[in-house]
Structure 1
Amino acid sequence: MEKPVSKSLEIIIPAYRMHSQTFNNMLHGVEEADAQTRIENKTNHFTWMVGNLVNCRYWLAGILGIPDKDPNEALFKEAKALDINAKYPTLDELKKEWHNISPVLYKKLLSIDEAELAQAYPFGMNISYVEENKLNMVGMCIDRESYLFGQLGLMRKVLGYDAVKYDLNDNLDY
């Protein structure tokens, strides 16, 4: 495994790579028709959750100076609420975007230094024990991804799919 320049990210890199794998495993076998299903009209659908995962990576990329933009940002920016009237991208389209931004962001995470991670990044939550900087934005992104994976895992079961597998593809190196 490649080591990041920043010692602060040594714990993040394995989580990031595991999430890259988990993303594929979460989508495995899910039919497009099921991806639009909501539980008792109270939950977000699978597609919305997947779109938010993709958007989270684009969001972090932007914070770290990567100019690439999420083509579906209007649907997902800042965890925008599900719009039952909106036309959402397919799971295949979202998967393509995930694999477009993820290796680019991974390279940035490997190369970013402590000084850049310490740069202020105000996010307006005003939590006394969370310094508003780029390092904590990386942590918040990983946390958001974990949260969404938990929801997706539950949705897989509710929709009648097998639990997510943790099979790894060593060729996926980001």
Structure 2
Amino acid sequence: MKITVSTHKLPGYGPTLRTTKRMTEQAVRIVNRAVPGSMPDVEVILTNERGMAELGAAAYTELAGVLDKRTRARAERECLRRARDVSGRAIPRADGSALVLLNVDQHPGEAEMAVTLVHELVHCMQFSRKDVVESIVRDARDSFGVERQSRRQAREHERAVEQDEREAYGKEHLANQLVPGAAA
């Protein structure tokens, strides 16, 4: 498993980058032991709201196989609307790796960053489970209008997302091992 941490359009965030690299290496080990599944190669990118929208839209359109410029622009607008409220996102990639986007503007300290990092790494572990990535791809293709999914498949996907979110929130206490008092 390969772990990379970088920034996107964030000049002057060297100390935050170094801290996040250290925390990511520790968090991967902790989450790998505590959550069933296998950790894929992970790329963590620290960015701002606009960067989250740009990179998130690019990753989802690539996952869905969309090449149309108009569809990409629509996806970026939708991701920008969501990015205002989101502090992090985990997105599977077609090559089996995972992309984790962290909004540094919503993390005033190490404790908040640790909680979000653990939460998103739990999602990365979930990507290795049976039919999870296929369901995400099918939902993305449906949202971009490439290929329709049935109502039953959409309901199953929504239930799976809710279950995965409950599991990720339930594992946020592991952030205490990174930064004491983080998940308090």
Give the alignment's TM-score, normalised by structure 2. Answer: 0.26
Structure holding more strand per residue: 2
- Which structure is higher in RCO with an 8 Å CA cutoff and minimum separation 6? 1
Give the alignment's TM-score, normalised by structure 1. Answer: 0.27
